[in-house]
Amino acid sequence: MSHHVLVVEDEIVTRTKLVGYFENEGYKVSQAESGDQMREIMVSEKIDLVMLDINLPGEDGLLLTRELRSRSEVGIILVTGRTDSIDRIVGLEMGQMITLLNHLSCASCWYE
């Protein structure tokens, strides 16, 4: 059985690239463009990893990280175009595992 990844990203190009990357590697992938869609999928599916955009419109990815962590031990990777160290530090404090720069070279991960 393959692991199930949930990609939460409002930008269609970025979401499509991330979904394609994980599908090509053999993972089962679900996708959401909002926090509300993420919550629906988290209730209905067994998710192993959440790739979460830090800049979702209407909802803060850092607060969604805190919400996820309070309910689950799911792996969380924050996706961001920001390069501020403060976002990485706050993300770690809220329970995220890795920050991925949104230039979509999947090799450019920071393992914290």
User: Where do the structural domains in the chain lie, given as residue ranges?
Assistant: 4-111
Q: What is the mean pLDDT of the chain?
A: 79
- What pLDDT band is residue 107 in, cutting at 50, 70 and 90? very low
Which uninterrupted H or E stretch holds 64? Answer: helix 61-71
Tens digits of per-residue pLDDT, 33-62? 999 999 999 999 999 999 999 889 889 888
The distance from CA 99 to its chain's CA centroid, rounded to whole angstroms, is 9
83 pLDDT band, cuts 50/70/90, is low
pTM: 0.76
Decide if 58 contacts 36 (C-beta within 8 A): no
CATH superfamily of 4-111: Response regulator (3.40.50.2300)
Residue 85's pLDDT band (boundaries 50, 70, 90)?
Answer: low
In this predicted model, which residue has the larger pLDDT, 72 or 89? 72
